Chain A
Amino acid sequence: MGFQPVKFYQTGTYTVGNRLLSDAERSVQAGESRSNSINSGHRACQGCGEALGARYAIDAAMAGSNNQLIAVNATGCLEVFSTPYPESSWQVPWIHSLFGNAPAVATGVAAAMKVKGKTNVRIVAQGGDGSTTDIGFGCLSGMFERNDDVLYICYDNEAYMNTGVQRSSATPPAARTATTMPVGSEPGNAFGQGKNLPEIAMAHGIPYVATATVADLRDLEYKVRRAMNIRGARYIHLSVPCPLGWGTASNDTIRIARLAKECGMFPVFEAEYGEVISVSKIRHPVPVEDYLKPQKRFAHLFGKTPHPETVARIQAIADRNIRKYRLLEEGEN
């Protein structure tokens, strides 16, 4: 079950490509003819995880739909940096309406295609964590509940980035944002709030829910392809680090995404009809400090007045994820 990595051939499936693998075993991204759904010249920041994740995901969806794809976009970084009127980086049919209605627009596009008898045309809706977990949440829940034939992809960078890094309901505890400043006895974002959208999606009992990161391309491509083979409402939650909002170096985006998974903060799994069917095991376990320290949004936890008790609470969240999703190899749990 789940993505079956090739563990040998020098770098196996860890790298984007591998000259030692057969053509069938190679990734979409390694191909010279990948669709580059989002083209050069977009205005994302240097090292943007979302721009990268969007190309990874939509290229895979294109490959999985025989290039018969319409993309619906919520308002957010992805929309703003790709399509400042009148230019657009998208090389797929693409529509943007409002911040909160992308799932509903996608439902409509899917219905229109059905009416026109074009069932070969597939619909992807995409948005950031703001439009997904906050503003468009009602529309999304409705889309799930009706089991509309849409793949919804959430690019989770854990705050409203293009408006200046305000907290969303996907912002992790203790993180500094413009609206959760590191002041007071419990600096940064509060514990115990926010939404775990993959689990909320699973609670709707839809056919497919998966999480992924930009650090594991092959796993992400597998999940998108798999989702494209299923009809009905599907949801992929993709972790895309934001150098600007997280305060990380632009060259560290993938490393940070990898650490998020390896420390247990971002469990990578897939679920069918509300049941987890596979998880990506942690390869080299690390404490959460390794993940938090390179990020300036957590700098107040390690500064002149460190907050080890807060780090311990974050570690407890990671440990809970590791237990709950069985993220360590058998025998290590």
Chain B
Amino acid sequence: MSNRPFAITLKPGTSLANLTGTWRTARPVYLHRLPPCNNACPAGENIQGWLFHAESGDYEQAWRILVENNPLPAVMGRVCYHPCEGACNRGQLDSSVGINSVERFLGDEAIKQGWKFDAPAAATGKRVLIVGAGPSGLSAAYHLTRMGHYVEIHEAGPLAGGMMRFGIPKYRLPREVLDAEVQRILDLGVTLKLNTRIENIEQSMKAGSFDAAFLAVGAHIAKRTYIPSGDAAHIVDAVSVLRSMEGEDKPMLGRRVVVYGGGNTAIDVARTAKRLGATEAIIVYRRTREKMPAHDFEVEEALQEGVMIKWLSTIKQAEEGSLTVERMELDEHGVPQPTGEFETMEADSLVLALGQDVDLSLLEGVDGLEIVNGTVQVSSNMMTGHPGIFAGGDMVPSERTVTVAVGHGKKAARHIDAYLCDTLYKPAPKHELAEYNKLNPWYYSDADKTVRPMLDVIRRQTSFDEVQGGLNETNALFEARRCLSCGNCFECDNCYGVCPDNAVIKLGPGKGFQFNYDYCKGCGLCVTECPCGAITMVPEET
């Protein structure tokens, strides 16, 4: 029996003996949710993670987090179609965070400051042959080298870069930027052999005693279509036009250039023709703008520069100086059907931009491979049917973008590493998605997206200067700070502040917070008032 006075249960003094945590029926727990930008990134970048450091102005740390997944940020910041921004939750608040422009700023800053990659891990003694020095091959080489493997890239062309150099025009990707980022990868200790075409992959692997190979030869053979034409008709393909832009002799296209196709390559070649002095660059495409595979902002930029587009048209015949074009109509399935109405267009040259095929000659005689529609089939670990031979980039079935290729390179590198160590690479399970309804947007400052400067149209039509400008430090910092940090704590102290029971312990900068379940009553205020959705309630076990 207690000898305390009536109705008194505790000794005089503090209330700390009163463990109010026993009232709780549900407890708050900290968690990480997957930000939609990270989820959308084909290269698997930890975008929220690097923006976190950019927000505090620590650009080098931001860059280091960025390049853990992607060694080409300055290239990415120019040529990536940024699906991250399409997924960004801030788009539902005002407008998406300019992730791509901050990435470019970090990439450019790294080149300016001369930041180098962290040194590779201890050498494993394993040798990997990479075929092709495009984005996929470079990405794989970078990751494998950092893991400690010896990497040799064999490139058939005269320079590294693949389609980044021989497909993407200079006005979108200045070559000094590409060169700087390629060189940084080579500086890591990657051996690059240029003008080295692999005739037979198995022989080359045996000759160089390679333990594994990663094929990333890209898709460089222009698709052709049969167009009846006179002997003097000037027909070229887009791939060779763009490739010859890198050489001494610029392509001769004439004053009226017609481009046939509706992809990004068609846009690139039309804009290139305009810059080479064509008075008219006309894209002929058999469907409508809505159906065009080219990205709309590129179509828009091309139109601004005076490129014309002839919709719903196919080319039936080519003669010297003229083309016969048939008008098309979309049927109820959206498929273009011929109408039998023809017209004639003047054209000094016709450029075919109808897609590209893969040169698979190096794979002849390799057993176990499966080729479907001209692409090499790979399983989920990027390995072909032949053990030890992996493939990625444009030569495997996928969306053909630089970012996807970089992602393939990273993924393949992880699986090659596992293959070399005789283990299995198992990616960490993905966190649940940080959807907009998990956020408390009240707390974010109102701030609209920073607009990137664009080169004026006259200079765009007459030079290969870069069209889209970058951000300076001030507005890059502004843009980074527009990040909502979806699903990941950014140490705003709200949980620590709003708890009526002082049941949140602040662990200090960079260390986050911890719940004191002795006193947490489970009210859920911290969960509701967490701006970024990094806390959730879970029922207590009964």
A47 and B15 form a contact (CB under 8 A): no
Interchain CB contact (< 8 A) of B445 among A8, A89, A258: A8
A258 touches B442 (CB 8 A): yes
Which residues of A from 108 to 136 have beta carbons under 8 Å from B? none
Shortest CB–CB separation between residue A41 and chain B, in angstroms? 3
0/1 interface trace, chain B 134-178, chain A, CB 8 Å (1 if under):
000000000000000000000000000000000000000000000
Interface residue A88 (Cβ < 8 Å from any Cβ of B):
yes
B503-542 contacts to A, CB under 8 A, are 503, 506, 508-509, 516, 518-519, 521-525, 527-529, 531
A30 touches B15 (CB 8 A): no
Give the A-B contact count at a CB cut-off of 8 A.
158
**Closest B residue, CB atoms, query A46:** B523
B15 engages A17 (CB within 8 Å):
no
Once A42-B501, A87-B13, A88-B15 are accepted as A-B contacts, the answer to whether A8 and B525 lie under 8 Å apart by CB is no
B339 on the A face (CB < 8 A): no
Chain B min CB distance to A291 (Å): 14
Once the chains are docked, how many angstroms separate the CA of A15 from the CA of B298?
A: 40
Contact present for B531 and A17 (CB under 8 Å): no
Known A-B contacts A11-B492, A20-B55, A40-B516; A32 and B506 likewise in contact (beta carbons under 8 Å): yes
Q: Kindly identify which residue among B17, B483, B496, B508 contacts A87, using a CB–CB cutoff of 8 Å.
A: B17
B498 at the interface (CB under 8 A from A): yes
Chain B residues with Cβ below 8 Å from A17 are: 491-494, 496-497
Interface residue A7 (Cβ < 8 Å from any Cβ of B): yes
Which one of A29, A243, A284 contacts B497 once the chains associate, using CB atoms below 8 Å? A29
Q: Is A274 an interface residue (CB 8 A)?
A: no
> Does A44 make an interface contact (CB < 8 A)?
yes
B232 contacts the other chain (CB 8 A): no
Interface residues of B in 9-39 (CB under 8 A from A): 10-20, 23
In angstroms, Cα B17 to Cα A43, docked, is 12
Say whether A10 contacts B14, CB under 8 Å. no
A51 to chain B: which residues have CB within 8 Å? 500-501
**Closest partner residue, chain B, to A258 (CB atom):** B442
Decide if A225 is an interface residue (CB 8 Å cutoff): no
- Shortest Cβ distance from A36 into B: residue: B502
What separation, in Å, do the CA atoms of A39 and B443 have in the docked complex? 27
User: How close is A96's CB to chain B, nearest CB, in angstroms?
Assistant: 15
CB neighbours of A15 from chain B (8 A): 443, 492-494, 497, 531
Cβ of A255 under 8 Å from chain B: yes
**A residues with CB within 8 A of B:** 7-12, 14-20, 27, 29-30, 32, 36, 39-44, 46-49, 51-52, 55, 82, 85-89, 217, 243, 249-255, 258, 284
In the complex, 25 of the A-B residue pairs with CB atoms within 8 angstroms, ordered by the A residue number, are: A10-B445, A10-B485, A11-B492, A14-B443, A19-B56, A19-B490, A19-B509, A32-B508, A40-B501, A41-B14, A41-B17, A44-B501, A47-B523, A47-B524, A48-B523, A51-B501, A55-B500, A86-B8, A87-B14, A87-B17, A87-B18, A89-B15, A253-B525, A254-B528, A255-B528
